[in-house]
Structure 1
Amino acid sequence: MNKSIIITLSVMCLGLVVQAQNPRYISADEAIEIAVKNNSNVKMSDLDSKVANANYHQTDAVFLPQITVGYTALSTNNPLNAFGFLLQQESVTAMDFDPAKLNNPGARQNYGTQIEAKLPLLNMDMIYARKGAKANEEAYKYKAERTKEYIEFEVRKAYTQLQMSYQAHSILQKSLQDVKQIHQSVTNFYNQGLIQKSDVLNAQVQVNTIESALAKAESNIYNASDGLRLLMGFEADGDVFTTDSLSQKIELPQDRDLSALRSDIMALNKAVDATNMMVKSSKMAFLPRINAFGSYSLNDSKAFKFGNDSYLVGINLSWTIFSGNQSRSKMKSAQFQHHKMQEELDLHIKKEQLELDKTKRDLNDSQIEIDKQKASVEQADEALRILSNRHREGLVSTTDLLMAQAQLSQQQLLLAQAIMSYNITKAYLDFLSKVK
C-alpha cells in the first residue's frame, strides 16, 4: 500500500516545473510579440519570402532591355580582317587596293568600343513564367504568415505548460505541508505509545517522496524556461520566467469552420496558380518570339582613341519549329506538376477539416474532464477532512490518512492538467480556424 502511494506521487511529479530563483515575469502576449520578431523559423520564412521576391524580379527582363558595354583590342595580318579594320575605321585609301597590300597587309590593329542593347518585344512564354513567379512569391508570403501563426500557437502552448508547472509546484508545496503535519501528529502518537513505529516510517517515506519530487521540479524549471526562451529567440542561459496563474480560458460557443482564406490554404492555392502559369508558359514556347536589338561602336587604329562610329539596329523573329521533343516533354512535366499540386491542395483541405473536427471534440472532452475533476477534488478534500478528524480520534490508520492526502494531491494535479489541456486545445483550435 505504501509503495502504491509513492508510485502515485512520483507519476504526478514527473516533468513538473517549479519556480526557480530570480524569476522574470512575462505575459503570454509579450512572449508572442517577442517570438514573432526573433524566432529563427520566422526569420527563415521571411528570408524564403524575400528569395521568392528576388526570383520574381528576375523576370523583369521580360520587359526591360539588356545593355552591355565592351572594349576590344585586336591585331591581325589576315587580309580579310585587316581590310575590314580599315573599313571600320573609315580610313581606306586608293593605295589600300594595291593587290600586294591586299594580299600582305602586315599587322593591323583595331581598338573598338561597343554598346549593345537587346529589347524583348513579344515573348509569351516568358510573360506567363513571370506570372508564375509572382504567384510563387505570394505563396511564400502566405507561408511566412502561417509560420508566424504556428509560432504564436507554440508560444501559447509552452506558456500554458509553464503555468501548469507553477500550479503543480504550488500543489506539491501544500501537499508537503500536509504530510509534514501528518508526520508530526503520527510522531506525537508514537511518543505516547498509541501507534506503531511503522506508521511513523510510512509518514516519513511520504515526506521524502514529495521532497524528492520538489527537488526534481526545481531543476526542471530551467528546461521549461529554456524551451520558451528558444521559441522567443533568446539565449538558453538566462533568467527563468514566471507567468500568470493557470486558469481556464473559456471558449464561447461559436462556429469554427475551415476557411479557404487561411494562410496555409492560400499558399497552396497560389502554388497551384504558379504551376498553372508554368503550364501556359510551356505551351507558349511553341509560338514565335520577337525581339529588337541594336549596337553602337567606335573604332580606331590607336589604343584608347575613339574614332569613327557606326550603329546597327534590327528586329528578330525566331520560331523554334522542333526542339528535339524538349518543349513537348517540358509541357507534359508542367502539367503533371500542376495536377500533383492540385491533389496536394485537396488532400490538405481534407486533413485539416478532419483535424478541426477532432479538435472541436477534444475541446468538449476537456470541458467534461474539468467538470469531473472539480467534483473529484471537492470529494477528495472532504474525504481527507473526515479521515483527518477520525485519525485524531484514533479511528483510522495512518496509511488510510496518507492515501487520502495523496489522492487529494493527485486529483488537484489532474484538474490542473485538464485545465492546461483545455487551454492548449483552445489555442490549437484558434490556430486551425485562424483567418487573416
Structure 2
Amino acid sequence: MRKLVFTLFSVFVLNADEPISLDNALKILNSQNLEIKAATLDVKAAKEKIGSVSGTNWGKLDFVQDVAKSDSAGNVFGFKLESREADFGDFGFSEFLPCMSATPPASCSNPLTIAPKDLNYPDARNFFQSKIKYELPIFTGFQISSYTAIMESMAKMKTLDKDKVINEKIYQLKKSYYDMALLENSINNLNIIMKNIDKLERMTNQMIEVGYAKKSDLLEVQAKKGNVERLISQMNYNEKLLYHFIGFLLNQKVDAIEIPKSNIEMPSINDEDILKNNLDIQRASTGLEIRESMVDVQQSNYYPMIGAFAELSTADDTFLGEASDHKAYTVGARLTWNIFNGGVDASKVEEAQIEKLKTKSQVELARHGIKLQIAKLRTEIETQDAEVAFLEKELKLANEIYKNYEGRYKEKLSSMSDVIIKQSQQIEKILELQMAQNKRNERIFALIKLANGDK
C-alpha cells in the first residue's frame, strides 16, 4: 500500500511539473477559466427564460383552497349558496309565516316590513372551498410568440457574449505563450552577450597585468556587465509575471509551459470570412432581430385578446364535506379589445420602428468599423514584418561589428569605450527586435480574434 501511494504521488508530481503545451492549455482554458464558466451559466439562464415565456401558451392550472369563518349576513348566506345548503329559513320565513297566519290579520303589522333575524343576524359559519381553475390564452395578438422570439434572441446574444469571452481569453493565452517565447529568445541573446562580456572581462584583466589596458577599461566592462545582468533580471521577473497570468487564465498553478516558436505564421483568412464570423457584427445583427420582435410586440396591442377558462369547485362548512353533492363548475371565454387609448399604441409602435432603424444603422456601422480594423491590422502586420526583417539584419550586423571591435581592442586598435558602444548597440537591437516581434504577434492575434478563430 505504501508503495502504491508513493507511486501515485510521484505520478502526480511529475504531471504537475510537466510543461503545458499550448493545445492542452487551450483545453484547460475552456473547461476551467472562471469567466468562461460564468458566461456559460449566463447562457443557461437565458435559455431557461425562453421556456418561461413560451410556456404561457399552455395556460395555467391553479388550485385554490379558501378557509374562512364569518357572521356577516352577506358572507354567511353566500357560504350557504356556495355549499348548496341555503333554505327558506335563511330568508326569515320562521318569522314571516306566523304573521301571515295570524287571526285576525289586523293584529299583525305589515309582513313586508319584518326584518328577519335569521337573515340579518345569522350564526357564524365556517367555510371551506376547494377550487381548481384552468386559464388558457387562445389569441394574444402574436404577443407571446413575439416575446418568445425576443427571449431566443437574448439567449443567442448571451451565447455570443460567451463566445466573445472565450475569444478574448484565447487571445490573452496565446499572446502570453508567444510573449514567453520572445522573452526566452531575448534572454538567450543576452546570455550570449553576457558570455562575451565575461570573456572581455578576463581578457581585460590579462591585458592589465601585462600593461596593455587600463583599470578604467575594466570598470567600463564591469559596468556594462551589471547593466546586462539588470536586463536579464527584469526579463526573468517578466517571465514570472507571465506564469502567474497564465495560471490565472487556467485557474491553476503553472510552473512550466512548452515554449512555441517566437513568431506565429500569418493566418490565411480573407476579409469576407472575418466579416461573416465577427462576433461584434453578429451581436449587432441579433440586436436588430430583438428590435424587430419588439415592433411585433407593440403591434399586438391592436389585436383583441381572447382567453378561455374552466373552474371546478366544492364548498362546505367542513373540509371537503359532501364534496360530490356540493361541487360546481364554470366554463367561459373572454375577449378584450382596446378600441381607443388616445394614440398611445401608435406612438409605441412608431418608437419601436425608430429603434429598429437605429439598430439597423448600428449593424452597418459595425460592418464598416470591422472593415477599417481589418485594413489597419493588415497594414500594421506588413509594417512589422518589414521592421522585423530589417532588425534581424541589423542585429546580425551589430554582432559582427562587435566581434570585429573586440578583436581590434585586443590588438589595441580601438578603445574599450568603442567596444562597449558596439555592445550597447547589440543590446539595443535585441530589445528593438523583441518589441517588433511582440507587436507583430499581437497584431496577428488581434486579426484572428476579429475572425472569431481558433476555438
TM score, norm. by length of structure 2: 0.84
2:50 corresponds to: 56
Partner Cα distance (2:260, 2:441) in 1? 13
Identify the residue that residue 335 of structure 1 maps to in structure 2. Answer: 353
Q: Match for 2:196 among 156, 170, 178?
A: 178
Other structure's SS at 1:395 match? coil
CA–CA separation in structure 2 for the residues paired with 1:30 and 1:112: 65
Which residue pairs with 1:366 in the alignment?
384
Asked whether 1:266 is paired with 2:306, we answer no
State the match for 2:295 in structure 1.
Answer: 279
Alpha-carbon offset, residue 72 of structure 1: 0.9
Q: Assess, with a 3 A threshold, how the Cα gap between structure 1 residues 242 and 414 changes in structure 2: closer, same or farther.
A: farther
The offset of 1:397, in angstroms, is 0.9
- Structure 1 residues 202 and 23, CA, compared in 2 at 3 Å: closer, same or farther? farther
Corresponding residue to 1:400 among 418, 423, 427: 418
Match of 1:123 in 2: 140
Q: Residue type of the partner of 2:84?
A: E
1:131-150 alpha-carbon deviations (Å, 9 max, x no partner): 12212222221222232122
CA positional deviation for 1:272: 0.8
- Contact 1:65/1:118 (<8 A) preserved: yes
Match of 1:10 in 2: none
Residues 253, 81 of structure 1: alpha-carbon distance in 2 compared, 3 angstrom cutoff:
closer
2:304 to 282, 288, 303: 288
State the one-letter code of the partner of 2:265: I
In structure 2, the CA distance between the partners of 1:23 and 1:61, relative to structure 1 (3 Å rule), is closer
Q: Which residue of 2 aligns with 1:134?
A: 152
The whole-number CA distance in structure 2 between the counterparts of 1:45 and 1:74 is 50
Instruction: Tell whether the 8 Å contact from 2:178 to 2:259 is kept in structure 1 after alignment.
Output: no
* 1:430 corresponds to 2:445: no
User: Which among 187, 209, 221 is matched to residue 191 of structure 1?
Assistant: 209
The residue aligned with 1:351 is 369
| CA displacement at 1:63 relative to structure 2 | 0.8
Q: How many residues align?
A: 412
Amino acid at match of 2:72: N
Which residue in the other structure is 1:76 paired with?
Answer: 70
Counterpart amino acid of 1:36?
N
Offset at 1:44?
Answer: 2.6
How far residue 180 of structure 1 moved from its aligned partner, in angstroms, is: 1.4
**Do 1:381 and 1:408's aligned partners in 2 also have CA atoms closer than 8 Å?**
yes
109, 121, 132: which is aligned to 2:126? 109
- Contact 1:167–1:246 (8 Å) recurs in 2: no
Query: How many Å separate the matches in 1 of 2:76 and 2:55?
Result: 38
- Asked whether 1:222 is paired with 2:219, we answer no
Structure 1 residue 191: Cα displacement: 1.7
8 Å Cα contact 2:298/2:348 also seen in 1:
yes
Q: Distance in 1 between matches of 2:322 and 2:164?
A: 59
Shift of 1:24: 5.1
Number of the residue aligned with 2:335: 317
CA distance in 1, matches of 2:76, 2:268: 91
CA distance 1:254–1:84, change in 2 (3 Å): closer
Matched to 2:128, the amino acid is Y
Q: Decide whether aligned partners of structure 1 residues 219 and 423 sit closer, same or farther in structure 2, where only a CA change above 3 A counts.
A: closer
Q: How many Å apart are 1:331 and its aligned residue?
A: 3.0
**Change over 3 Å in CA distance of 1:344–1:148 after alignment to 2:** same
Higher relative contact order (CA 8 A, sep 6+): 1
2:20 paired with 1:26: yes
Q: Which moved more, 1:279-288 or 1:216-225?
A: 216-225
Give the SS at the match of 2:271.
coil
CA distance, structure 1, for counterparts of residue 150 and residue 20 of structure 2: 44
Unaligned runs of 5+ in 1: 1-21
The 8 Å contact of residues 130 and 320 in structure 2, kept in 1 or not, is answered as no
- What residue identity is the alignment partner of 2:40? D
Work out the CA distance in 1 between the residues paired with 2:18 and 2:425.
Answer: 33
Find the residue that maps to 1:241 and give its secondary structure: coil
Deviation at 1:120, TM superposition (A): 0.8
**Structure 1 position 204 matched with structure 2 position 206:** no
- Structure with larger Rg: 2
Asked whether 1:169 is paired with 2:194, we answer no
Contact 2:54–2:145, Cα closer than 8 Å, also in 1: no
Q: Structure 1 133/254 Cα, relative in aligned 2: closer, same or farther at 3 Å?
A: closer
Paired residue secondary structure (1:285) = helix
- Work out whether residues 292 and 314 of structure 1, in 8 Å CA contact, stay in contact via their aligned partners in 2: yes
Bigger mean CA deviation after superposition, 411-420 or 356-365: 411-420
| Amino acid in structure 2 at the alignment position of 1:301 | D
